[in-house]
A and B are shown apart, each in its own frame.
Chain A
Amino acid sequence: DGGITQSPKYLFRKEGQNVTLSCEQNLNHDAMYWYRQDPGQGLRLIYYSQIVNDFQKGDIAEGYSVSREKKESFPLTVTSAQKNPTAFYLCASSPQLGQGARETQYFGPGTRLLVL
């Protein structure tokens, strides 16, 4: 079955530690995205990538970094500079670069990050 996988489901971070969240898709989608969701809140965009080796900052990129070395993979690193990382992180992809309004985003199951 095609889809988006995120791992791990739960992740614990110690103070001063960098952690990396995995996101893989086998849908052959061009664009991929990372969102953060805090309890009772909507989704906020962290980073997005339209093609391999290219990515752009979203609304809350500070303290995060990404890479897009392969079309199917878009890992997110939460660095020690992110002072409040506890949240639910969602990865998404969309199939049609350039279709704008018609594009549908497909989401992964999410990773819940907790700070020890």
Chain B
Amino acid sequence: DAKTTQPNSMESNEEEPVHLPCNHSTISGTDYIHWYRQLPSQGPEYVIHGLTSNVNNRMASLAIAEDRKSSTLILHRATLRDAAVYYCILRDLNSGGYQKVTFGIGTKLQVIP
């Protein structure tokens, strides 16, 4: 399975943009890039996903490098409620049926008031 690499932790000031990086140098052409986040003592929640083009939704934006070997989750204005662990994972389009989701350690984002 293609792996992802994320920094263990990051800090951001409140109301400033946050760019969370993810490296996936062994990504295959059929891998989707998914992001989830986990608030303290809660289950993870879906944030966004994409394949090749940049994606926007109400929570965040996903910028995918042209060679797809890296991506960046962008929170446009960090709030204290965005303090969480952010996971970047890959899902293979060709898997069919169920495919195991592997959540690594992720990036712990601290938002400073």
Contacts and interface: CB of A to CB of B under 8 A. Distances in A.
- Kindly list the 6 A-B residue pairs having the minimum CB-CB distance in the complex, ordered from nearest: A107-B43, A101-B91, A101-B32, A43-B103, A100-B95, A101-B93
Contacts, number: 73
A43 to B, nearest CB: 4
6 contacts: A41-B105, A42-B102, A56-B98, A58-B100, A101-B99, A103-B91
A42 B96 contact: no
Interface residues of A, number: 32
Q: Which of B45, B98, B102 has the most CB of A within 10 A?
A: B98
B100 to A, nearest CB: 6
B30 A90 contact: no
Nearest to A105: B101
B44 A97 contact: no
Contacts of A90: 43-44
Contacts of B92: 100-101
A66 interface: no
Interface string A57-71: 011000000000000
